[in-house]
């Protein structure tokens, strides 16, 4: 027994998107997670272009404001690159290789799978376990991205006075966060097929999990920004005014029928299309038993019920904070209001406990 057990290093989960910057800090005690601090800030206009940070100073200043408002004293973060900026490949390696030899072997073979010069690439790998293809080999997950994708985020974080300890991939962060929603899954998700659709501002991720492991994922351009822009066009508002009206209400009486209902129709069609792509993507695909609807659009009243009725699968608003305690500091930041949009941030914050 260790006299001084290794303490987990707390990390801020920092989710930087085209519309907002969200940070969350978690702790654990007695097997239960607790939100210690939380804050969100709008992403400065024109600072991110197609998920690439083009103005690191502006993003860094917004991160700094979020850190200050959250009240956290932590300065180390986990953040993520988008899935379409990453290359993932499962390769096989001999089981007899020791750690140092395995690292050297992966390094030697990595350029076979990465279509960029290796001096322009950052990569990592994880041993997944024995391969079904060959009992003498292990499956090894290789993940790579252009180094500039990592450096953009590191530069923005440094501008805020923070240190990036982990750079993850959004798809892995989402999978990590899904274990926070097992209370909403039949049998806690074990031996069950569950779909999670995460509606962002400009893009949406549709994932299918089997026993809490992502077996399929699809990213597509669609999100709450389209609703905001439709409000702008219909009522002659500025982008800022439309965003505020969308959240706070006060729109004319025809808003539901003329703007919101057609947008919900579009949401439902996107979910249905993604389901069809998933079912056609390989043999043995089975219909998910439940859909968890996440992201800012999940807060539209009744949207999960509409999706359920039209797709024919039970659907519910996903809540990764549903089983957590909240510090007084987190409560004042209205973290529960934003909970459904915190999948990526929560998945990153959970890296504190790896």
Residues 153-180: tens digit of each pLDDT: 999 999 999 999 999 999 899 999 999 9
Question: How would you list the strands of the sheet with 203-210, edge to edge?
Answer: 213-221, 203-210, 193-199, 290-295, 315-317
What pTM was estimated for this model as a whole?
0.90
Give the chain's domains with CATH numbers: 85-148 (3.30.1490.300)
What the block records as the tokens of 242 is 């439309």
Q: How far is CA 105 from the centre of its chain?
A: 31
pLDDT score of 36 more than 90: yes
* Maximum separation of any 2 CA atoms in the chain, in Å: 69
CA 110-113-119 angle, 5° bins: 55
pLDDT band at 5 (very low <50, low <70, confident <90, very high): very low
Which comes out higher in pLDDT, residue 305 or 103?
305
Mind listing the pLDDT tens digit for each residue in 221-263? Answer: 999 999 999 999 999 999 889 988 988 888 999 999 999 999 9
pLDDT band at 133 (very low <50, low <70, confident <90, very high): confident
φ and ψ at residue 46, rounded to 5 degrees = 65, 15
pLDDT score of 4 more than 50: no
Please give the mean pLDDT across all residues of the chain: 91
Mind listing the pLDDT tens digit for each residue in 45-69? Answer: 899 887 789 999 999 999 999 999 9
Separation of alpha carbons 112 and 118, rounded Å: 10
Amino acid 110: pLDDT:
86
Query: Which of 90-94, 322-326, 332-336, 350-354 shows the lowest per-residue confidence on average (mean pLDDT)?
Result: 332-336
Say which DSSP state 126 is in.
E
Sign, Cα dihedral of 239, 50, 44, 12? positive
Nearest to 26 by CA among 77, 61, 60: 77
Amino acid 8: pLDDT:
61
Tell the residue number behind the tokens 């510090």, with chain if given: 327
Q: Are 77 and 165 in contact (CB under 8 A)?
A: yes
Amino acid 1: pLDDT:
33
Amino acid 2: pLDDT:
40
Mind listing the pLDDT tens digit for each residue in 291-334? Answer: 999 999 999 999 999 999 999 999 999 999 999 999 988 887 78
Query: Which of 62-71, 81-90, 145-154, 264-273 shows the lowest per-residue confidence on average (mean pLDDT)?
Result: 81-90
For 209-275, give the DSSP string: EETTEEEEEEEEE--HHHHHHHHHHHHT--HHHHHHHHHH----TTHIIIIIHHHHHHHHHHHHHHH
Mind listing the pLDDT tens digit for each residue in 181-233? Answer: 999 999 999 999 999 999 998 899 999 999 999 999 999 999 999 999 999 99
φ and ψ at residue 200, rounded to 5 degrees = -95, -165
Separation of alpha carbons 165 and 207, rounded Å: 26
Amino acid 3: pLDDT:
44
């Amino acid at each position: 027994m260790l006299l001084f057990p290794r303490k987990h290093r707390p990390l801020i989960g920092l989710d930087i998107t085209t519309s907002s910057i969200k940070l969350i800090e978690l702790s654990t005690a007695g097997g239960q997670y607790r939100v210690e601090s939380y804050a969100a800030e709008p992403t400065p206009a024109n600072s991110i272009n197609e998920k690439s940070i083009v103005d690191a100073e502006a993003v860094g200043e917004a991160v700094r404001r979020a850190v200050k408002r959250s009240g956290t004293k932590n300065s180390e973060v986990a953040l993520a690159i988008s899935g379409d900026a990453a290359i993932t490949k499962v390769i096989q390696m001999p089981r007899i290789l020791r750690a140092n030899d395995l690292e050297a072997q992966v390094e030697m073979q990595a350029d076979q799978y990465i279509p960029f010069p290796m001096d322009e690439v950052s990569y990592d790998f994880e041993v997944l376990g024995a391969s079904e293809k060959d009992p003498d080999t292990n499956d090894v997950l290789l993940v790579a991205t252009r180094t500039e994708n990592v450096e953009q985020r590191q530069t923005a974080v440094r501008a805020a006075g923070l240190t990036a300890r982990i750079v993850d991939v959004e798809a892995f962060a989402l999978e990590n966060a899904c274990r926070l929603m097992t209370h909403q899954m039949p049998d806690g998700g074990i031996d069950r097929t569950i779909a999670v659709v995460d509606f962002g501002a400009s893009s949406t991720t549709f994932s299918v999990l089997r026993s809490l492991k992502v077996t399929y994922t699809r990213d597509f351009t669609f999100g709450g920004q389209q609703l905001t822009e439709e409000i702008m066009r219909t009522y002659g508002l500025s982008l800022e005014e439309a965003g505020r009206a969308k959240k706070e209400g006060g729109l004319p009486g025809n808003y539901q029928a003329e703007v919101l209902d057609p947008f919900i129709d579009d949401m439902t069609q996107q979910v249905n299309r993604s389901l069809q792509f998933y079912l056609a993507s390989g043999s043995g695909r089975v219909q998910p038993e439940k859909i968890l609807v996440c992201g800012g659009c999940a807060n539209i009243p009744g949207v999960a019920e509409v999706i359920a009725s039209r797709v024919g699968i039970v659907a519910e608003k996903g809540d990764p904070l549903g089983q957590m305690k909240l510090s007084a500091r987190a409560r004042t930041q209205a973290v529960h209001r934003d909970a459904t949009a915190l999948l990526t941030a929560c998945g990153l914050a959970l890296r504190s406990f790896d």
